[in-house]
Structure 1
Amino acid sequence: MDPHYRETRELSPKTDVYALGVVLLEMLCGRHQFDPDAPDGQKRLVLWAEKCIRERAPNSIVDLGLRGSLANDGLRIFLDITFRCLKDRSWKRPTLAEVVWRLESALTKQYTTYSSSSSVDDDIFKHFNQGA
């Protein structure tokens, strides 16, 4: 649930952005946002994924079926926009228009710079750790 909504009970377009971030993360990880059967520390998808990013292990969150098929540039953009959508403070989240634009950019990178490498540049870590 959007942390801002949980605190204020006010809905806004940024509430939708947070929800979209959760859906994007579910797609990338191949998991539901809450899994009662997951090991401790992995039950809540957003918290687990954020921890993996902080620990510099972004590929550990990528669904096995997607690993090796995502271009590094596209994955970096996808991770960046997803985690920006999940910011606790709603004013730090992008607009829906920016999310669409960034996802289109990630898709373009996917088709123009495909790489089977499983590593991700440090840029996502730099951005994620700034104001996380």
Structure 2
Amino acid sequence: MEPNTDAGLQAAAVIPGEDFSRVSLTPAAVALLEKLRDRHGPLMFHQSGGCCDGSSPMCYPAGDFITAEADVLLGTFGMPGGDSLDFWMSREQFEYWKHTHLTVDVVDGRGSGFSVEAPEGKRFLIRSALIDNRG
């Protein structure tokens, strides 16, 4: 897969045996995350799947969402300012999306749930593209 040129930041590869990024942030997402970090401290994403806003990545203060064996760490971002931001996905959802590269973007609107961007009148969303890692 060719890197997404619209992405402002690529996550470091963290899945054993992989040398490519599975997730990136658009410049708009990076800018909103910097604003949210100033308000909430270090952040993390979790993508669960399912109904309602389950297809939207949820952003939480780092550690507020407890991950476990049922989750896969897809990547870690080195954020401007020195913080790192992990992007997690439920293992069940990863089985469906393991052939895709995810780009986190931000749009106007308010999603439901407990994601920290909701009061800003914005919501994070995923744009996906198939990964072509055939070399």
Higher helix fraction (1 or 2): 1
Tell me which protein shows more strand as a share of its residues: 2
TM-score (norm. length: structure 2): 0.26
TM-score by length of 1: 0.26
Higher RCO (CA-CA < 8 Å; seq separation 6+):
1
